[in-house]
Amino acid sequence: MADTDLKTPLYQVHKAHGAKMVPFGGWLMPVSYSSVLQEHQTVRTACGLFDVSHMGELQVKGPAATTFLQRVSVNDVTRLGDGEGQYTAILHPDGGMIDDLIIYRIQADHYFVCVNASNTDKDYQWLLQQASAMAGVKVTNESTQWCQLAVQGPKSTLAVEALLSPVTKAQLSGLNYMQIMPVKLFGVDGLIARTGYTGEHGYELYVPNAIAERTWHGLMETHSQTGIQPIGLGARDTLRLEACYLLYGNDMNDGVSPLEAGISWAVRLEKGDFVGREALVAQKAAGLNRSQFALRMNEDGIPRHGMEVFKDGDLVGVINSGSVLPTLGGAGGLALLNPKKVAVGDVVEVDVRGKRKLARLVPKPLYKAKVKS
Amino acid sequence: MEFPNGLKYTKDHEWIDTAAAPVTIGVTAYAVDQLGDIVHVELPKVGDSFEAGAAFGTIESTKTVSDLYMPVAGKVVEINKAAVANPQSLQDDPYKLGWLVKVEVKSKIDASTLLDAKAYQHFVAEA
C-alpha cells in the first residue's frame, strides 16, 4: 500500500465490516468483505451495496457546455434531455481512448460527468485544455467532494426507497434506465442515477462526503427486507465481466479505439466532427485488425489479462479480462482478437501459463443485463 | 487461524506432514485466507519429480494466480483429485481434505528450511 493512497469517507465502515482493503486507481478500496463468490451471488439474487467513491465526478457548466461535450465525446450529447445520461468515451486525436465515462445532462447548461478513478486527473487536465480554446464552458473536478454508492440487484429499489420521502419515492419509480434525478438525502442535495456496473437493476447514488456514512447505514438497515450486503471490488469485477462491461486499463487504454474496444454502438460518427473522429473513420474504412470478443473456456484453466490466444497455431490476440464466471459457471473473459482471423463460434486456444486450453468465442454479452426490468 | 503443531511450514506458505512416508503437502490456512475464494487448483502428474523450492502447480482465486512450491525434493506419488474437483475444500479444511500431493522424498529432508507451527505463526504475524 502506498502512503499516497486516498481513503474514502467510508474507510472505517469497511474496516468495521471486516473488508480486505487493496490499492486501486490511487485509492484504498475494499476488495472483499467475506467471499467474492458469495458477494457476486448476493447482487444477482438480492441486493449489494458498493462504495465506489474512487470514481471521479466532473461538472461541465456554461452556455457552451453542450457544444463542448459534443466536440470532445463520441456519443451524441444532443440526444440527451434533462435528467438523462449516456455512456460515451473521450478520445485522443489518433482515436485512442482517454477514458470511458457517463455524461448526465442536469440541464442544458449543466452536465454531470462520472469518470474512472485512475483516469480522473488525466480526463480533467484534457478537458481543461480542450475547454481553454472555447468560450462559455467551465470544467471543475469535484471528485473528492462526492461519495458514490452503488446499490445493485433485484431488491435495490426497496433499499433506496428507505432513504426517500413519499414524494421522491414516487419520482424514483418513474426513473428509467440511464436517467438521473436530484434528491434530498438527510436534508442535503445529492443525485440518484439508475445505472450500474453489474448487469442487474440498480442505482448509483452521488452524495456529499458529509452524509456518506448516514446513507450507507440507512441502506444497510434494509437488510431484513432486501438481504443487502456490502460488496467489494472483487465481485464488482466478476459481475461486470459477465455483463461484458469494459474495464479501462484492462479491456482498453490510450492505444485502443472505441471501435476496437467493442463500443461502436456509443460512437456517433454521423453527428459531426469530434476529437478522434477522423481516425475512427479511417480505421473503419481500412477494416479493424483488433476487435473485442467474449469467450468461454471449454477446458479447465482460467483466462487472465495478457494471456495469448491462438487459432490453428497462429497468434490472433490477447486476453484482456478473464475470471471464473460465477453465475454462468466455468471461466471466460474478454479478448482483443483479429476479426480477420477469427469469428464468433470459433474454437481458439488460450495459452494458460504454457498450456494451450480450448475456448469458444461466444456472442456478447456473456450475461444478459437486467437493467431495464 | 489454525497452524497444527505436528506439521512443518515454509515461508512460501506450504505445510508438510513428515510424520509418515510418503510426506503430504498442502497450503496453509494463512495462504488460503490471503487468496480468498479458491476457484482452481492445478497439480502435477503422478511420477513427476521436483527439486526443493521448485514450482509444482498453481492455485487460483477469483482474482490471482499463485505458484505452489515444493518444500522438499522428491517424486509425486499421489495427487488429491478431490481437491482439484472441488477447490473449495482447501478453504474448508486446508490441512485434511485440502491436502494437495504426496511425495516420496529423494534425500534426507533439510529441516533448517522448514518452520515449526510456532515459528510460522510468528512469521505470518510479521507479514
B62: nearest CB among A234, A300, A353: A234
**Is A117 a residue whose pLDDT tops 60?**
yes
At A42 the pLDDT is 98
Share of chain A above pLDDT 90, in %: 97
At B57 the pLDDT is 95
Cell 458477494 belongs to A39
Q: Quick one: CATH architecture of A258-362?
A: Beta Barrel (2.40)
Q: Which of A37, A233, A297, A319 to mutate to test the interface with B (most CBs of B within 10 A)?
A: A37
The pLDDT mean for chain A works out to 97
**Is A282 a residue whose pLDDT tops 90?**
yes
pLDDT digits (tens, 9 = 90+) for A136-153: 999 999 999 999 999 999
Give the chain B residue nearest A353 (alpha carbons): B58
Contact B39 A32 (CB under 8 A): no
Name residue A199's amino acid: G
**CATH match for A1-243 among 1.10.8.50, 3.30.1360.120, 2.40.10.10, 1.10.3720.10:** 3.30.1360.120
Q: How far is A235 from chain B (nearest CA, A)?
A: 9
Q: A367: which 3 cell numbers?
A: 450475461
Q: How far is B37 from chain A (nearest CA, A)?
A: 6
Cell 434525478 belongs to A181
Set of chain B residues whose Cβ sits within 8 Å of the Cβ of A331: 39-40
At B113 the pLDDT is 85
How many contacts does A have with B, using Cβ atoms within 8 A? Answer: 37
List the one residue out of A117, A134, A8, A147 whose CA is nearest residue A60: A134
Give the chain A residue nearest B85 (alpha carbons): A300
Say whether residue A323 is in contact with chain B using an 8 A CB cutoff: yes
At B17 the pLDDT is 96
B37: nearest CB among A37, A300, A304: A37
The pLDDT mean for chain B works out to 94
> Which residues are CB-neighbours of A217 under 8 A, at least 6 positions away?
none
Give the chain A residue nearest B64 (alpha carbons): A304
Contact B36 A304 (CB under 8 A): no
**Is B107 a residue whose pLDDT tops 90?**
no
Contact B63 A36 (CB under 8 A): yes
Contact A353 B60 (CB under 8 A): no
Q: How far is B41 from chain A (nearest CA, A)?
A: 9
Q: Report the range of poorest mean pLDDT among A40-49, A211-220, B33-42.
A: B33-42
Residue ranges covered by each domain of chain A: 1-243, 258-362
Q: How far is CA B106 from the centre of its chain?
A: 17
The mean per-residue pLDDT over the stretch A230-254 comes to 98
> Which residues are CB-neighbours of A97 under 8 A, at least 6 positions away?
A89, A90, A91, A248, A252, A253, A254, A256, A257, A258, A261
Q: CA triplet A129, A134, A135: central angle to 5 degrees?
A: 130
**Is A220 a residue whose pLDDT tops 80?**
yes
Where is A146: in which H helix or E strand? strand A146-152
**Is A272 a residue whose pLDDT tops 70?**
yes
| SS3 letters across A56-70 | EEEEEECCCHHHHHH
Scored b (16 or more CB within 10 A) or e, B82-110 reads: ebbeebbbbbeebbebbbbbbbebeeebe
B110 — pLDDT class (breaks 50, 70, 90): confident
B63 — pLDDT class (breaks 50, 70, 90): confident
The mean per-residue pLDDT over the stretch B23-34 comes to 95
| CA dist., res. A205 & res. A150, Å (int) | 6
Contact A36 B65 (CB under 8 A): no
The mean per-residue pLDDT over the stretch A157-171 comes to 96
Q: Helix (H, G, I), strand (E, B), or coil: what is residue A26?
A: coil
Scored b (16 or more CB within 10 A) or e, A112-141 reads: bbbbbbbbbebbbebbeebbeeeeebebeb
Set of chain B residues whose Cβ sits within 8 Å of the Cβ of A323: 62-63
Measured in degrees and rounded to the nearest 5, phi and psi for residue B81 equal -65, -30
The mean per-residue pLDDT over the stretch A111-137 comes to 97
Give this complex's ipTM: 0.79
Provide CATH code, domain B8-126. Answer: 2.40.50.100
| CA dist., res. A211 & res. A189, Å (int) | 10
**Is A271 a residue whose pLDDT tops 80?**
yes
At B1 the pLDDT is 87
The mean per-residue pLDDT over the stretch B50-72 comes to 93
At A2 the pLDDT is 56
Q: A160: which 3 cell numbers?
A: 433506496
At A372 the pLDDT is 87
The mean per-residue pLDDT over the stretch A332-342 comes to 98
Residue ranges covered by each domain of chain B: 8-126
The mean per-residue pLDDT over the stretch B100-112 comes to 90
A302: nearest CB among B36, B37, B60: B60
Q: CA triplet A361, A367, A369: central angle to 5 degrees?
A: 135
B39: nearest CB among A32, A302, A304: A302
Say whether residue A43 is in contact with chain B using an 8 A CB cutoff: no
Q: What residues does A87 pair with on adjacent strands? A: A102
The mean per-residue pLDDT over the stretch B53-59 comes to 95
At B109 the pLDDT is 83
Q: Report the range of poorest mean pLDDT among A134-138, A238-242, A264-268, B107-111.
A: B107-111
How are strands ordered across the β-sheet holding A110-115?
A84-91, A97-107, A110-115, A56-61, A138-141
Measured in degrees and rounded to the nearest 5, phi and psi for residue B126 equal -90, -15
Q: How far is A36 from chain B (nearest CA, A)?
A: 7
Contact A35 B37 (CB under 8 A): yes
CA distances from A221 to A40, A158, A160, A230, B66 (A): 20, 11, 11, 12, 38
Q: CA triplet B71, B72, B77: central angle to 5 degrees?
A: 105
Q: Helix (H, G, I), strand (E, B), or coil: what is residue A23?
A: strand
**Contact criterion met (CB below 8 Å) for A307 and A352:** yes
